[in-house]
Chain A
Amino acid sequence: MLKGKQIPKIIWPLLALAAILLFNLLFTDHFFRITIRDGHLFGSLIDILRRCAPTMIMAIAMTYVIATGGIDISVGSVLAISGSIASLVVWGGSTNYLAGDDEAIYAAVGLIILIPLLASLALGAFNGLMVSVVGLQPFIATLILMTAGRGIAQLLTGGKVLNFSHAGFEFVGRGYFLGIPFPFILAMLVLLLGLAITKLTPMGLYIQAVGGNRSASQYSGINTKFVILFVYIFSGFAAGLAGLVMTADITGADAGFMGLYMELDAILAVVIGGTPMEGGKYNLKGTVVGVLIIQTLTTTILTRGVPPEYTTIVKAIVVLAVLIIQSRKVRELIEHRTMIRAAKEAESV
């Protein structure tokens, strides 16, 4: 009997990433050059790691949400709320910083980070309760916060762009640790946190079970409401953290535009990574690669000086190509062919 040689699914997004990198190796000068300046690594590749961090943080949490059969489209707005609160805290709660005495009211880094994160956890819990207890469809439940959230963020900042300079807090978005951009280290920490929760506790199994068959999960004794609540809280937390990174990076919060459409990038990364939208399975490594694909693509387009009006189109075409390669039909076709070839080889031996 032929032993089914299963091609691991991660191979497809990895191939796509390799293809984009190969393109750059051939056609983009200095893309792979990494230099050391002031003890920090510099170069296009390092830039990719730094810039992809907010999306990666959100996409990791989004992977779990999608694995339960849900979706969280409010993360962009939660990000904006978190960033706005952070800027507010920097200014001691005052939006009148332009009036003058701005030196005295700078807050401690701990507070600037803690308060927005607590708010984001609460927002995630709101989403989770809407989905698990109230029973709203995830898309609708998180649509509420997606639209209302941006309004809340703008109300918080009084419609102003809150700029600041705060050496301690800026490190979150701009710093380097052991030469590596700090935001990327944060993203890796979120990845580790996610892995710890899902591998060291049964949460990973429960998430897949709930996404695969909620009714059967309930019959198995799983507290399905709690599992669903958890993934949305984690997603809220991740969006809040991403908001801190972005705010610290641009040293300001523009409530109207921060994180706009980023929920779509996060969802796209999850899907490119091979996690099915219908839930029941997830591929965390795939998500990480998916984020890298999106960011590498964006950086490539920018460094090659493609006119900005084309960037979204180019991005869409590449993403479409990746998704087509990954589609079950195409994959089955390829696997079928390799199986036939293997069978023929086995016969000829």
Chain B
Amino acid sequence: MSEKLLEAKGVSKTFPGVRALSNVDFALGRGEIHGLMGENGAGKSTLIKAITGVFPRDEGDIFLDGEVIHPHSPMDAEALGISTVYQEVNLLPNLSVAENLIIGRQPMKRGCIDWKTINNDAIKILQKFDINIDVTELLGSYSIAIQQMVAIARALELDSKLLILDEPTSSLNLDEVQKLFIQMRRLKEEGQSIIFVTHFLDQVFEITDKITVLRNGEYVGEYNTADLTKLDLISKLMGKALDELKEFEHIAENKVDEDAEALLCTDGSGKAGYLNPFNIYINKGDVVGLAGLLGSGRSEIANMLFGIVKPDKGSMSIRNKKIKISSPAQALKNHIALCPEDRKNEGIIAGLSVKENIVLALQVKQGWLKNINTRKQNELARKYIDMLDIKTPSVDQAIENLSGGNQQKVIVARWLATNPELLIVDEPTRGIDVGAKTEIQKLIVQLAQDGMGVLFISSEIEEVVRCSNRVYVLQERSVVGELAGSDIDEHKIMHTIAGKGE
């Protein structure tokens, strides 16, 4: 019997255009709760999916109990003794709670399914979590949190060697998280090994023995939880050693021009349950960074300024004039542009060509009567293809055939074409290679120097530091700090994010 329950060595996985995992190691001891951490796109899910057989790995080996495994599907993995709870509940909402808990191993009695035993078993399983619900009701009739708990209970009941919890707590409240942790500790005492994937720093420090950090698809390191401070972990997640941070080169002009013309200013804008009231201002020529962890409210600010979500309190003014923005079309008319976070779902329109993707927002801005004809479309597209160095065989190429970085440039072009005064970019460099990344950063700074105001949102703090001349720091859906000029460095930002606890 090998010392480690699960070992991954040199695992790599490439998707078209993206190297999602590159030579990643991972080792899980017996009876250990092991946190797997990383920013978005770091490769956590990819590693989990390689272990659970959602897709095959390209390179490397995965050993379970010292033997190489090649699961071809999650069912395969379950047969090997690996059971997984995913972030999104993947049970059957159209079946009863009891059926969901027992499905696949129903007890039989005289050739019939023994419903009485099923329901009693289900009640017992859930009582461990202090959940007292009618197990004969449909799963879908309960809240997401209850459904998630049922999913966890089901996975814990399966007699498995390895339990993987992939961000199971995002829909649970504190009380429910504690109940889950009690069960996890009980299982650990029984010798169960658990991989726990989460974004929540507090939780990972509370429950795990060890932490493995991934970044940009690469293995950063494995640490004993007890040896790490919160700040250490943040710096490892973000990818800069603490002492290195100060040396990082600014490309932004490090001064704040007090006389610059005001562009946008919010006065207590917010929406209950979405974003706490916040006050920010952006002047002409500013690159204002928004820094904060995932879920801290970065994109929420962008969505609110752009009219995707309407605020229910506070006010907002543009060029010192009070204004209400209740739709993206209205934002466009006020010369605001938003390059959204989720390129695939909110950015590119897959069926359309590069040129159609570029002209779309400008067409909306011009209205129904001023149709941009094909000649003009071609001109515009060529202009931005040259300006942003977009690599495409022609303006008529379908956008889905471009690489991620070039798709991103097309979306940036879509918004530049509208000639905005305020450009909001949400994760403009996520998932694209280093070269394209630097180009986009430089472009953003250049645009600000030409007089545009830019709101720059990124989960990579170094990028925020590099490009911004002012930074707002967000935590738990509130703006908790502001840094300006030479005060901006990663260390200070991280301290603000980590809060006063450190």
Interface residues, chain A, with chain B CB atoms under 8 Å away: 199-203, 205, 208-209, 211-213, 215-223, 279-281
Whether A222 pairs with B364 at a CB distance below 8 angstroms is: yes
| Chain A, Cβ-Cβ closest to B342 | A215
Residue in A213, A217, A218 with the greatest tally of chain B CB atoms within 10 Å: A213
Q: A203-B368, A221-B329, A222-B360 are in contact. List 13 more A-B contacts (CB 8 A).
A: A201-B368, A201-B369, A205-B352, A205-B356, A209-B349, A209-B360, A212-B350, A212-B351, A213-B350, A219-B328, A219-B340, A219-B346, A281-B351
CB distance from B347 to the nearest CB of A (A): 6
Of chain A, the residue at the smallest CB distance from B307 is: A221
- C-alpha gap A212/B365 in the complex (Å): 20
- The reply to whether B345 and A213 contact each other, CB–CB distance below 8 Å, is yes
Interface of A is mostly: helix
Give chain B interface residues in 315-368, CB to chain A under 8 Å: 327-329, 331-332, 338, 340, 345-352, 356, 359-361, 363-365, 368
Q: List chain A residues, Cβ under 8 A from B363.
A: 202, 205
Please tell me which one of the listed residues A199, A201, A212 contacts residue B352 in the complex, with CB atoms under 8 A apart: A212
Instruction: Please tell me if B146 contacts chain A, counting CB pairs below 8 Å.
Output: no
User: In the complex, what's the smallest C-beta–C-beta distance from B457 to chain A, in angstroms?
Assistant: 14
Q: Nearest Cβ distance between residue A3 and chain B, in whole angstroms?
A: 9
Q: Give how many A-B residue pairs fall within 8 Å (CB-CB).
A: 78
| Interface core residue of B331, B332, B349 (most chain A CB under 10 Å) | B349
Assembly CA distance A200 to B368 (angstroms): 9
CB of B351 within 8 A of CB of A221, answer: no
- CB closest residue in chain A, given B366: A202
CA distance A215 to B329 in the complex (A): 14
In the complex formed, the residue of B with least CB distance to A217 is: B349
B371 near A201: Cβ-Cβ < 8 Å = yes
Q: What residue in chain A is nearest B368 (Cβ atoms)? A: A201
Complexed CA–CA distance, A212 and B399 (Å): 12
Is B92 on the interface with A (CB-CB < 8 A)?
no
Smallest beta-carbon distance A194→chain B, Å: 15
Alpha-carbon separation in the docked complex, A238 to B365 (Å): 30
Q: Are B371 and A220 in contact (CB under 8 A)?
A: no
Give chain A residues whose Cβ lies under 8 Å from the Cβ of B361. 220-221
**C-alpha gap A201/B368 in the complex (Å):** 6
Q: How near does chain B come to A213, taking the closest CB pair, in angstroms?
A: 4
Closest approach, in angstroms, between the C-beta of A69 and any C-beta of chain B? 10
Residues on the B chain within 8 Å of A215, using CB: 345-346
Judge whether B294 is part of the interface by a CB distance below 8 angstroms. Answer: no
- A208 interface neighbour in B329, B351, B364, Cβ under 8 Å: B351
CB-defined A-B contacts under 8 Å, sample of 6: A201-B369, A213-B349, A215-B346, A216-B348, A221-B327, A221-B332
A111 CA to B308 CA, complexed, in Å: 45
Residues of A within 8 A of B332 (CB): 221
Q: Which residue of B lies closest to A1 (CB)?
A: B393
A-side contacts of B351, CB under 8 Å: 208, 211-213, 279-281
Q: How far is it, in angstroms, between the C-alpha of A205 and the C-alpha of B349 when the chains are bound? A: 11
Question: Does A220 contact B368, Cβ atoms closer than 8 Å?
Answer: no
Kindly state the separation between the CA atoms of A212 and B338 in the bound complex, as whole angstroms.
19
- The answer to whether B346 and A216 touch across the interface, beta carbons within 8 angstroms, is yes
Complexed CA–CA distance, A205 and B328 (Å) = 18
Contact (Cβ within 8 A) B328 A280: no
Tell me, in angstroms, the Cα distance from A117 to B361 when the chains sit together.
34
Neighbour of B371 across the interface among A202, A213, A221, CB < 8 A: A202
Closest to A4 in B: B393
- Residues on the A chain within 8 Å of B372, using CB: 202
Residues from chain B with a CB closer than 8 A to the CB of A212 are 349-352
Q: Are B414 and A220 interface neighbours, CB within 8 A?
A: yes
Q: From residue B33, how far is it (CB to closest CB) to chain A in Å?
A: 37
Q: Which residue of B lies closest to A67 (CB)?
A: B351
A211 CA / B352 CA spacing, docked (Å): 10
Q: What's the nearest-Cβ distance from chain A to residue B302, in Å?
A: 10
Give B172 Cβ to nearest chain A Cβ, in Å: 27
Q: Beyond A205-B360, A209-B352, A213-B349, is A219–B338 a contact (Cβ under 8 Å)?
A: yes
Number of B residues near A (Cβ < 8 Å) is 29
User: In the complex the two chains form, what is the Cα distance from A202 to B350 in whole Å?
Assistant: 18
Which are the 5 A-B pairs with shortest beta-carbon distances?
A280-B351, A212-B351, A221-B364, A221-B328, A212-B349
Docked complex Cα distance between A149 and B348 (Å): 39
Is B352 a contact partner of A220 (Cβ separation < 8 A)?
no
In the complex, what's the smallest C-beta–C-beta distance from B317 to chain A, in angstroms? Answer: 21
- In the bound complex, what is the Cα–Cα distance between A199 and B372 (angstroms)? 10
Residues from chain B with a CB closer than 8 A to the CB of A216 are 340, 345-349
Report chain A residues within 8 Å CB of B365.
Answer: 221
A219 to B361, CA, bound (A): 9
Q: Which residues of B contact A281 (CB under 8 A)?
A: 351
Contact pick for B350, options A219, A222, A280, CB 8 Å: A280
> Which of B308, B361, B363 has the largest number of chain A CB atoms within 10 A?
B363
Complex-state Cα separation, A216 to B352, whole angstroms: 12
For A221, the chain B residues whose CB sits under 8 A away are 327-329, 331-332, 361, 364-365
B437-461: contact bitstring with A at CB < 8 Å (1 yes, 0 no)? Answer: 0000000000000000000000000
Q: Which residue of B lies closest to A213 (CB)?
A: B349
Instruction: List the B side residues contacting A220 at CB < 8 Å.
Output: 328, 349, 360-361, 364, 414
Quote the shortest CB–CB distance from A65 to chain B (angstroms).
16
Assess whether A219 is in contact with B308, with CB atoms less than 8 Å apart. yes
A223 shortest CB reach to chain B, Å: 6
Shortest Cβ distance from B329 into A: residue? A221
Residues of chain B contacted by A219 (CB below 8 angstroms): 306, 308, 328, 338, 340, 346-347
Q: What A residues does B356 contact at CB under 8 A?
A: 205, 208-209
Chain A residues whose C-beta falls within 8 Å of the C-beta of B352 in the assembled complex: 205, 208-209, 212, 280
- Shortest A106–chain B CB gap in Å is 41
Q: CA A208 – CA B350 in complex, angstroms?
A: 10
In this complex, the member of B360, B371, B414 whose beta carbon has the largest number of chain A beta carbons within 10 angstroms is B360
Closest residue on chain B to residue A199 by CB atoms: B371
CA distance A218 to B131 in the complex (A): 41
**Do the beta carbons of A218 and B371 come within 8 Å of each other?**
no
> How distant is the Cα of A203 from the Cα of B363 in the complex, in angstroms?
10
Residues of B within 8 Å of A199, CB to CB, are: 371
A174 to B85, CA, bound (A): 66
Interface centre among A199, A215, A216, A221 (most CB of B within 10 A): A221
Inter-chain CA distance A200–B371, complex, in Å, is 6
Measured in the bound complex, the distance between the Cα atoms of B371 and A203 in whole Å is 9
Instruction: Note all chain A residues with C-beta closer than 8 A to B327.
Output: 221, 223
Compute how far the CA of A115 lies from the CA of B356 in the bound complex, rounded to whole angstroms: 39
Residues on A with beta carbons closer than 8 Å to the beta carbon of B348: 213, 216
Q: How far is the CB of B371 from chain A (nearest CB, A)?
A: 6
Chain B positions 471-490 with a Cβ under 8 Å from a chain A Cβ = none
| A-contact bits for B211-254, CB 8 A (1 contact / 0 none) | 00000000000000000000000000000000000000000000
Question: A209–B360 Cα gap in the complex (Å)?
Answer: 9
Q: Which residues of B are found within 8 Å of A203, using beta-carbon distances?
A: 368
Q: Are A202 and B345 in contact (CB under 8 A)?
A: no
Q: Please, which residues of chain A bring their CB within 8 A of the CB of B308?
A: 218-219
Task: Give A200 to B361 CA distance when docked, in angstroms.
Answer: 17
Which of chain B's residues have a CB closer than 8 A to the CB of A213? 345, 348-351
Tell me, in angstroms, the Cα distance from A201 to B372 when the chains sit together: 9
Most buried by A among B346, B359, B361, B372: B346
Bound CA–CA A202/B414 (angstroms): 16
Q: How far is the CA of A210 from the CA of B268 in the complex (A)?
A: 34
Contact assessment for A202 and B368 in the assembled complex, using a CB-CB cutoff below 8 Å: yes
Give, as a whole number of angstroms, the nearest-CB distance from A284 to chain B.
15
Q: How far is the CA of A217 from the CA of B332 in the complex (A)?
A: 13
Write out the residue numbers on chain B whose beta carbons fall within 8 Å of the beta carbon of A223: 327, 329
The interface residues of chain B lying within 8 Å CB-to-CB of A211 are 351
